[in-house]
Amino acid sequence: MEAKQNPQSPHIVMLPPPALLGHLIPFIEFAKRLVFQYNFSDTFVIPNDGSPINSQKALLEPLPVNSFFLSPVSIDDLPKDSGIEIRMPNIIIRSLPAIHEKLNELNKSNRISALVVDLFCPLAIDVAREFSIPAYIFFIISATDLSLGFNLPEPESSLSEYGNVQEMVQLAGSLTLHGSDIPDSIRDNSNDAYKWTIDLCNRYRLADGIIVNSFLELETDAFKDLQQHGSSIPPIYPVGPLIQSSSDSETDPGSKCIEWLNQQPPRSVLYISFGSGATLSKEQFNELALGLEMSGHRFLWVVRSPQENTVAAYFSAQRAKSPFDYLPMGFLERTKDKGLVVDSWVPQVQILSHGSTGGFVTQCGWNAILESVVNGVPVIAWPLCFEHKMNAVILTDGLKAAIRVKENENGLVEKGHISNLVNELIEGEQGKQVQHRMRDLMNVAANALSLDGSSTKSFVEVVQKWTGTTQC
């Protein structure tokens, strides 16, 4: 890519993980603020595990930044069922020589003011230290998750609170995780995922600061807990909500969605999307379709071909078979006057900010939660993997801004239950309460990002650290 750096500007290097678009997007929004508001120069250095990189390139190319994709490294020797907590750090370990070489090159041409690494990439802090470059973690998920990570007992603890006999985990404040809501990576303190999680959290302590994509008023108890750790952890900088902004590239097929929404009544449409990689099983996919049909409400559904492994699509290409082939017979014809089904990228932020959108069924990724909050859209929480079940607890029990699905004894969310939830969210009493709560949170988020807001002040503090100034 053609150089886009100003040698007179503070130079920040960002290290997101490979493949995970949900991590890259907050990095991009963070970089855009640095470039456009504070005249920084930004360079993205992206490790590569051999996954397709076209989607990442498409997001980065329009930006006034440099981006470099490192040579692919293989993790084929890892067990096939290795979780993301194992896969990602191993990719970084095997990319360290290339990271070292690139940082050395960039630092010679334009002195690096700071290295900002993803929550899966703290091993790169050691490389930054070799060049005396300050290193920061960009924690793109909740402060509650970060607080939990710093409170995890070491694996050798014989009475681990989070061992495989644990039935609940207490989060910051009064929130409690019950049984299956505990993330898989910390459910059993004897497995490798737990050990890698502990190692990552311990390495966060080596950073010069931790930038969090959240805001004080959203997760007050979590930030209070982090503050109580004092000097044992780095300074915490809440700068969120940083969410994907609209762009001129949001054309077809996104324009089809917006044109369709333009024809719908205010707050009448339920938007359904499970993010960039999560998938439903065939049976659950069918139940969701039938539940939407039973509800009789308008819907905009982004479909993905079902897979039995919920997270498989994060790490592999989509199946050749179209997701439309899995829909119930006659579904599209029966719902053509009420619903729109798409199987490709859509402009989610535009959809959530549209006046016709009245609710959002989401897997509770942190980006999706922040987008819902910023736009004041009430949520049906349907968590599937990773820390998403914990996010659902934050959203429902903590913030009172969502209604959560319930699975039957076989782990299936049934069509009748789905229909009832849709009706409740769009026109029921509980739905009205959730709508009011989301509207309140929308105003709080706007205040956090205002000129004198908590997140703006925190962002300026980071900028001052990197520029060596006291005024911005």
Query: Of the given ranges (71-85, 416-430, 445-459), which has the lowest mean pLDDT?
Result: 71-85
Amino acid 456 reads T
More confident residue, 135 or 151: 135
User: Which residues make beta-bridge pairs with 212?
Assistant: 139, 238
More confident residue, 71 or 165: 71
- Main-chain phi, psi angles of 122, to 5 degrees: -65, -15
**Domain range holding 167?**
11-240+450-467
- Is 324 among the domain residues? yes
Measured CA angle at 173 (ends 227, 238), to 5 deg: 40
As a whole-number percent, the residues of the chain with pLDDT over 90 amount to 74
Spatial contact of 9 and 37, defined as CB atoms under 8 Å apart: no
Q: How high is the pLDDT of residue 470?
A: 63
- Is 245 among the domain residues? no
- Is 193 among the domain residues? yes
Measured CA angle at 217 (ends 346, 369), to 5 deg: 20
Q: How high is the pLDDT of residue 186?
A: 83
- Is 160 among the domain residues? yes
Task: Tell me the mean pLDDT in the region 69-84.
Answer: 91
Q: How high is the pLDDT of residue 248?
A: 42
Can you spell out the DSSP letters for 187-229?
H-TTSHHHHHHHHHHHHHTTSSEEEESS-TTTSHHHHHHHHHT
Are β-strands 269-273 and 298-302 bridged in parallel, bridged antiparallel, or unpaired?
A: parallel
Quick one: 200 and 171 in the same domain?
Answer: yes
Is residue 236's pLDDT more than 90? yes
More confident residue, 442 or 159: 442
Find the CATH number of the domain harbouring 308.
3.40.50.2000
Is residue 162's pLDDT more than 50? no
Quick one: 144 and 190 in the same domain?
Answer: yes
Q: How high is the pLDDT of residue 371?
A: 97
Q: Which residues are catalytic?
A: 23, 118
- Please give the DSSP secondary-structure letter assigned to residue 80: T
What is the average pLDDT score of the chain? 90
Quick one: 287 and 341 in the same domain?
Answer: yes
Is residue 2's pLDDT more than 60? no
- Is 246 among the domain residues? no
What is the tally of structural domains in the chain?
2
Quick one: 354 and 428 in the same domain?
Answer: yes
Task: Tell me the mean pLDDT in the region 290-299.
Answer: 98
pTM: 0.92
Q: How high is the pLDDT of residue 3?
A: 41
Task: Tell me the mean pLDDT in the region 364-378.
Answer: 97
Q: How high is the pLDDT of residue 243?
A: 96
Confidence band of 6 (pLDDT split at 50, 70, 90) = low
User: Which residues make beta-bridge pairs with 403?
Assistant: 380
Confidence band of 199 (pLDDT split at 50, 70, 90) = very high
Quick one: 94 and 142 in the same domain?
Answer: yes
Q: How high is the pLDDT of residue 1?
A: 37
Q: How high is the pLDDT of residue 251?
A: 46
Quick one: 211 and 322 in the same domain?
Answer: no
